[in-house]
């Protein structure tokens, strides 16, 4: 094969690569909406499955991924409204929450009330004590009617 033929083959292969190739453009996006999920002892829910649902289509996933090692997940909404976020660690722990996004594609501020583990325990014991106390009161009231007859 002559040098000219090799050069022509090389030129044709190069032109084909140049003509049919496509480039990749990337850019950094500022902002975004995110969630940080931790267990009640402060440990992040690292690498937990996360699903995002748009307000315009609550059935089809808008985005699906995993939290990072710090339990964070960030996405860029494209419409305003309440976005549903489901985070599941695969071991029986999870969160289902909504984030309201305004016209400017920023979170509309809302206060979230969280109870500590001790507060939850006190509330639970109080509820049980109240229910049992009410039941005993009702039972003894019925016995008092029977003894006075």
In a domain, 98, yes or no: yes
What CATH number did the domain enclosing 98 receive?
A: 2.60.40.10
In a domain, 146, yes or no: no
Q: What are phi and psi of 136, to 5 degrees?
A: -65, -40
Q: Which domain holds residue 56?
A: 27-112
Tell me how many domains the chain contains: 1
pLDDT, position 128 = 86
User: Rounded distance, CA 96 to CA 149, Å?
Assistant: 56
Q: What is the dihedral of CA 19, 21, 27, 29, to 10 degrees?
A: 120
For 13-61, the pLDDT digits (tens) are 665 555 555 555 555 556 788 889 888 888 899 999 999 999 988 889 9
User: Rounded distance, CA 46 to CA 36, Å?
Assistant: 10
């Amino acid at each position: 094969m002559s040098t000219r033929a090799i050069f022509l083959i090389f030129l044709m292969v190069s032109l084909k690569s140049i003509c049919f190739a496509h480039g990749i453009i990337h850019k950094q996006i500022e902002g975004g909406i995110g969630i940080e999920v931790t267990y009640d002892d402060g440990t992040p829910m690292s690498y937990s499955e996360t699903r995002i649902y748009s307000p315009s289509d609550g059935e089809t996933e808008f985005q699906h991924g995993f939290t990072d090692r710090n339990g964070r997940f960030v996405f860029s909404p494209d419409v305003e409204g309440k976005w549903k976020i489901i985070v599941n660690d695969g071991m029986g722990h999870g969160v289902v929450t909504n984030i309201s996004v305004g016209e400017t594609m920023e979170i509309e501020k809302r206060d979230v009330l969280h109870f500590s583990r001790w507060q939850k325990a006190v509330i639970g014991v109080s509820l049980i004590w109240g229910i049992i106390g009410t039941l005993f009161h009702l039972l003894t009231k019925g016995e008092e009617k029977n003894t006075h007859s």
